[in-house]
Amino acid sequence: MTDTAIDQVAMGRLAKALTFILSAAHPTVVALRTASESGAAADIKKARTLFLKLKPGERQAAMNMLKD
């Protein structure tokens, strides 16, 4: 698998976790969902940027939800 493929899967999972934490209409959730579906480098870059702009607690909560 390439790094992009792994990122697509991870971003899809992050989008689901953040939907629960924030809302489905939040710009970061929308960007992550778009990046997960399209796999385009520009979409992935935008989603990463928006994810990193979230509050540290929101990012940590989302990452904790991914741990199974």
Cβ atoms < 10 Å from Cβ of 17:
19
Task: Give yes or no for a contact between 28 and 58, defined as CB atoms under 8 angstroms apart.
Answer: no
Task: Map out the domains of the chain as residue ranges.
Answer: 3-66
Band (5; pLDDT cuts 50, 70, 90): low
Confidence class for position 1, pLDDT limits 50, 70, 90 = very low
CA distance 30 to 57: 19
- Residue 23 pLDDT class (50, 70, 90 cuts): very high
pLDDT in tens, 29-65: 999 999 999 999 999 999 999 999 999 999 999 999 9
- Per-residue confidence (pLDDT) for residue 67, from 0 to 100: 87
